Amino acid sequence: MAVATAAKTGTNGGHGAEELPSVTVSSYNLEIRDGDGFIGDKASRGAFMDHLAELRGYLADAGEDPLAGRDATPSKSELDELITKGEAREAALVLSAVERFAQSLAFVIRRFLRQKAWSAVERIVVGGGFRESRVGELAIARAGIILQSEGYAIELVPVRHHPDEAGLVGSAHLAPKWIFEAYDSLVAIDIGGSNIRVGIVELRQDKAPDLSKARVWETELWRHADEEPSREEAVKRLGKMLAQQIKHAEKEGLRVAPFIGVGCPGLIEADGAIDRGAQNLPGNWSSSRFNLVESIREMAPEIGEHQTMVVMHNDAVVQGLSELPFMQDVENWAVLTIGTGLGNASYRNRVKPKNGGKGKDDKGKDDKSKKD
């Protein structure tokens, strides 16, 4: 069952809000369990590696592992190379893992579609680090084919921006409208289970008022998982990254808004506290004595001599928001982010699509009466 949704009824504005400037967040951070635990664990990057390891084990027992001598957890680039340049048996092994993972992903999506907040979803954007690989793209496409062959009128599409940048670009859709009247860029933070990114997002409204041309001007990445810092050390490093990005952008002549958008794992409370779901971050970020928003505001109290406004939401919500300009032909849509874990969010556009949306019944399947 779903044990947590963080789009709280009546939450308008502020952190973890349901009502955003251009869209309603129907749900996020849904935690659905089955007998084996959280079903999202079946569609994480680790789950793919488990499928690959299991297949290699079977083949080793039967005679020979085609990848014998290689790392137990090959990188995304190594897996992609095996598909395109590896020997037939090596490529076939990786593709077998892709098929298994796609079946798992399709299973997870079916379970999400049974939730009330997802029942009307017409399109699912898939992001996260796993998407940025040929292996990931094949798994996403294959899961989409599986679902459509079963009668689900669901499109699965990879996030358009590089996943490393989508979580920053999406912050532009957290900003209040006054930001766009006097500034051409803003500061964004994307906090993940392995990495922290800080960047400057160019709004580029002269090219597209709907922010479809927004892009990351510059970004800095810190892989905290390699260093295992304390929470205090992680926050301090985040502060240094913020200061560098803001200073460089202002030096280069960008009109940086006094606004910082933050995407962070977990259930985000209206006061900026993290209820739960941040267990992969260094230290205890859900402590009642810790407030990330307040910490960020203390580290960057002003931008361009104006008091800084900080708005935080769940990281999957923010990554999904990067796709908002391209989701205007549907009414209900969602995002899944495949990485250390499986992030999720669903949305309802405030303005209904001109084409009226795609006809569906309440299970996300084709409404035969409408088709006929």
**Strand 306-307 to strand 342-349: parallel, antiparallel, or no bridges (unpaired)?**
unpaired
CATH number of the domain enclosing 95: 3.30.420
Residue 365 pLDDT class (50, 70, 90 cuts) = low
User: C-alpha 257: how far from its chain's center?
Assistant: 24
Q: What mean pLDDT comes out for the span 272-280?
A: 86
Contact 47, 338 (CB under 8 A): no
Comparing 8 with 355, the larger pLDDT belongs to 355
Same domain? 208 vs 280: yes
Q: Are residues 119 and 147 in the same domain?
A: yes
Does residue 297 share a domain with residue 286? yes
pLDDT average, residue stretch 147-152: 96
pLDDT tens digits for range 93-129: 999 999 999 999 999 999 999 999 999 999 999 999 8
Check residue 238 and give its pLDDT: 97
Q: Is residue 365 situated within a structural domain? A: no
How many angstroms separate the Cα of 258 from the Cα of each of 170, 185, 295, 332? 17, 10, 16, 32
Does residue 217 share a domain with residue 114? no
Query: Which pair of structure tokens corresponds to residue 75?
Result: 């990188």
pLDDT, position 355: 60
CATH of residue 181: 3.30.420.40
For the cut 90, the answer to whether the pLDDT of residue 359 exceeds it is no
Global confidence as pTM: 0.88
Beta-ladder partners of 32 = 2
Q: State the chain's maximal CA–CA distance in angstroms.
A: 68
Domain of 314 in residue numbering reads as 163-320
Do 65 and 91 belong to one domain?
yes
Same domain for 222 and 82 = no
Same domain, 96 and 181: no
Residue 292 inside a domain? The answer is yes
| pLDDT tens profile 213-228 | 999 999 999 999 899 8
Q: Is residue 371 part of a domain?
A: no
Segments of the chain assigned E as strands: 23-28, 33-34, 37-38, 123-127, 155-158, 185-191, 196-202, 215-222, 256-264, 302-303, 306-307, 309-314, 332-338, 342-349
Predicted pLDDT of residue 276:
82
Cα 198 to chain centroid distance, Å, stands at: 15
The pLDDT score that the predictor gives to residue 22 is 87
Answer yes or no: is 78 within a domain.
yes
